[in-house]
């Protein structure tokens, strides 16, 4: 041992080097074997694609409502007029079963676009109000024909057995006229 220190080896031997090399190779081997298992836990590309829906808003005229499919459910998109927005904001002060101001039902600076999952929160029926001539209920929004829930111009429950407002899904604007439903909005740079 004193001879190894005298020659500047500090007690390191060929055996130490081989053990270190062996351990490093074992770690690499475990990683190579574990990666396929870890990668298999990620959703497939086709599953990821089905979890989002891209919608072009450009053809939707002010006052028009359209429906798109997302994750097997209808999503109601309305291009609201200034009058509709004013009515929804005015109704913020009214007593509601699930109080929520209109400002929390759309993205900041995009009040003209209302995006909601079109499934009644009572028992899962599809409310009327998307098509011209549909009954829109007592509050000018949507009406569920199954059990009589009435939603206002912001999709908030106002009357009937539904316990909650029509849900607003995660969505983000890709451009001023294109959204992706199923993705959280990007945070503005600070």
Annotated active-site positions, please?
147
94 Cβ contact partners less than 8 Å away, ≥ 6 residues apart: 158
How many alpha carbons fall within 13 Å on the CB side of residue 91?
A: 23
113 Cβ contact partners less than 8 Å away, ≥ 6 residues apart: 57, 77, 78, 79, 80, 106, 107, 179
3-state secondary structure of 69: strand
Burial string for 99-123 (b: 16+ CB within 10 Å, else e) reads: ebebeebbeeeebbbbbbbbbbbbe
State how far the Cα of 87 lies from the Cα of 153, in Å rounded to an integer. 7
Structure tokens at 156: 């908030």
Dihedral (Cα; 142, 143, 144, 147), 10-degree rounding: 150
- What stretch of H or E contains 171? strand 171-175
Q: Chain centroid to CA 68: how far?
A: 15
């Amino acid at each position: 041992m004193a001879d190894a220190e005298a020659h500047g080896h500090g007690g390191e031997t060929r055996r130490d080097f081989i053990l270190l090399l062996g351990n490093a190779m074992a770690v690499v081997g475990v990683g190579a074997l574990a990666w396929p298992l870890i990668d298999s836990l990620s959703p497939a590309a086709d599953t990821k694609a089905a979890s989002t829906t891209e919608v072009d808003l450009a053809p939707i005229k002010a006052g028009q409502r359209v429906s798109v499919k997302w994750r097997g459910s209808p999503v109601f998109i309305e291009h609201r007029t200034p009058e509709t927005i004013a009515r929804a904001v005015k109704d913020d002060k009214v007593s509601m079963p699930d109080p929520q101001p209109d400002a929390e039902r759309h993205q900041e600076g995009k009040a003209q676009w209302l995006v909601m999952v079109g499934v009644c929160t009572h028992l899962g029926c599809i409310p009327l109000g998307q098509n011209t001539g549909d009954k829109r209920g007592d509050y000018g929004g949507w009406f569920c024909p199954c059990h009589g829930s009435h939603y206002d111009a912001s999709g908030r429950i106002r009357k009937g057995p539904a316990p909650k407002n029509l849900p607003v899904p995660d969505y983000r604007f890709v451009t001023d006229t294109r959204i992706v439903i199923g993705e959280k909005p990007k945070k503005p740079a600070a």
